[in-house]
Amino acid sequence: MSIFASRIEPFDWNRILWSADAPPWYLLEIAFRCLIVYLMVIAALRVTGRRGVRQLSIFELSIILALGSAAGDAMFYGEVPLLHVLVVFVLVSGLYWLFNRFTEWYPRFGDWLEGTPVLLIDNGEIHYANLQGENLTQKELFGGLRGHSIEHLGQVRRAYVEATCNFSVYFFADSDVRHGLPIWPEKIAASQRLPADAGPHACTCCGHVLQLARATLATCPVCHHDEWVPACDALRVA
């Protein structure tokens, strides 16, 4: 039994370039479908936020997603006419160019679509509202900081998340390093509500540092959490 439902004539140019089942006006429907799907892809990427984009711009990722299926299907599906694929490529490339021009002509549109750098850490403390607004978790933030050889937040003067979800970090000079929240996972996991020893302790939520007495129950005045770990003041070793 043949694996093909019907016989395919090799190099049948009518089949390669066109389809007997689709009238010429179907190209307009493809253009319409392409426009709708492209806008849906942009909307989906905008909703998922920076985490789904990572090191690609939202335009680069959208054109990869939009063209990937069209290109792949045309390579091995005999019933996919190349003219249909050509319309998809022309439309998506045109939309890509148009959206890029819009971001140049209307900077606010570009800022809304691709995002702007957002301050996540200021003087060793986390801007928790900004972190949540960017759909990032504390684990993701700390993982990115550890990639910069950071041991605790007291070494960090400012940290931003860029539109590509990369972290840009600015450090205190060694002479200005302060006590801060250690970001090693095992130290965060050892947090306590009642400190075992007196001394500077850091809030495990926002990194705010307080001098606490031994076995004293305290609430963070910044974020109102009550889990603490001993603060660290080690100098950064890159």
- Which pLDDT belongs to residue 1? 45
- Which pLDDT belongs to residue 215? 87
Measured between alpha carbons, how far is 73 from 92 in angstroms, rounded to an integer?
A: 16
Measured between alpha carbons, how far is 172 from 156 in angstroms, rounded to an integer?
A: 6
Measured between alpha carbons, how far is 91 from 64 in angstroms, rounded to an integer?
A: 14
Contact 129, 122 (CB under 8 A): no
Domain ranges of the chain: 13-113, 118-230
H/E segment holding residue 126: strand 125-126
Count Cβ atoms below 10 Å from residue 223 Cβ, excluding itself.
17
pLDDT digits over 33-85, tens only? Answer: 778 777 777 765 665 555 555 556 666 777 777 777 777 676 655 566 778 87
Measured between alpha carbons, how far is 138 from 162 in angstroms, rounded to an integer?
A: 16
Fold designation for 118-230? CRO Repressor (3.30.240)
Phi first, then psi: what are they for 125, rounded to 5°?
-125, 145
Share of the chain above pLDDT 70, in %: 85
- Which pLDDT belongs to residue 54? 55
Q: Strands, E, within the chain: which ranges? A: 118-122, 125-126, 156-161, 167-171, 199-203, 209-212, 228-230
99 vs 51, higher pLDDT: 99
The mean per-residue pLDDT over the stretch 143-148 comes to: 92
- Which pLDDT belongs to residue 202? 96
Measured between alpha carbons, how far is 58 from 117 in angstroms, rounded to an integer?
A: 15
Q: What's the order of all strands across the beta sheet hosting 125-126?
A: 125-126, 118-122, 156-161, 167-171
The mean per-residue pLDDT over the stretch 212-231 comes to: 93
pLDDT digits over 110-132, tens only? Answer: 777 777 889 999 999 999 889 88
Tokens standing for 20? Answer: 């007997």
- Which pLDDT belongs to residue 23? 77
pLDDT digits over 150-169, tens only? Answer: 999 999 999 999 877 789 99
pLDDT digits over 189-220, tens only? Answer: 999 999 889 999 999 999 999 999 998 899 99
The mean per-residue pLDDT over the stretch 1-27 comes to: 70
